[in-house]
Amino acid sequence: MTPHYLHARAATLSLEFALDQLGAQAELEARAIRAEQAAVREPLRSASWGRRTALGGHGDPTGDAVLTARAGARPNRYANLHHDVLERLAAVAHHLPPTGGINPLHRVQVAIPGMQPGTAATLTTLLSKLDERVRRELRIGPDREPLPGVECPACRHRLVYVQIAGPEHAWTVVCGKPCRCVGQGCRCEQPGAVEGPVHIWPRSEVLTGHLARN
């Protein structure tokens, strides 16, 4: 797999994990909102109301509850973001060959090996932006871990990361700098090296190379 495909696949796997987390968070939020609404509908049996009276000074409780109920349920921002990201993915998947499934991210994953390198690179940029947006909302970082004792096969920098989203056989290694490929003659010595992308390797290749050098 060329670097563009490795990046694109890693981006889909990262986004897939982030979307799963976002879906779970949307469920929790929906439950919390339902509980809040139930509490508003039954103010006398509401635990939160009990605390309010204990604190005192809130005037007419029934009036408060009615005002809150009229304002309607607060939006579920996690569900809204989930919906928005899936819509964007569906717009991308719309241009790709059908896979029989309805999951747009899966359709994108299946289509990657058949894409032009430039298309894969554009796709990576789009997926990474969506991934960052979801992770920012969830306050989670990228799924990557430092790989101790291993140097970058291209620039020899001694901080490389394993990108661990998805199944282990699909894990990849990227340089911590990160360094970019200069194409033919690059120190990465990868067959079919192309100029431009940040260096990326299948994890198994880096580990084998490392073990071979020691």
Stretch of 6-14, 52-60, 72-80, 187-195 lying at the interface with Zn ion (CB under 5 A): 187-195
Residues 6+ apart with CB under 8 A from 207: 150
Look up residue 73 and give its DSSP letter: P
- Please state the closest distance from residue 155 (CB atom) to Zn ion, in A: 3
Strands (E), the chain: 144-146, 160-163, 172-175, 180-182, 195-198, 200-202
Cα–Cα nearest to 39, from 64, 9, 10: 64
The interface mask with Zn ion, positions 136-175, x = CB under 5 A, is ----------------x-xx-x-----------------x
Question: In the numeric block, which tokens belong to residue 3?
Answer: 């670097």
Residue 179 touches Zn ion, criterion: CB under 5 A = yes
Residue 188 touches Zn ion, criterion: CB under 5 A = yes
- Please state the closest distance from residue 184 (CB atom) to Zn ion, in A: 9
Cβ(112)–Cβ(8) below 8 Å: yes
Looking at the Cβ atoms of 61 and 202, the one nearer to Zn ion is: 202
Residue 206 touches Zn ion, criterion: CB under 5 A = no
Residue 186 touches Zn ion, criterion: CB under 5 A = yes
Q: What residues between 19 and 58 interact with Zn ion by CB under 5 A?
A: none
Residues 6+ apart with CB under 8 A from 43: 49, 61, 62, 64, 65
Contact residues: Zn ion, CB under 5 A: 152, 154-155, 157, 175, 177, 179, 181, 186, 188, 193
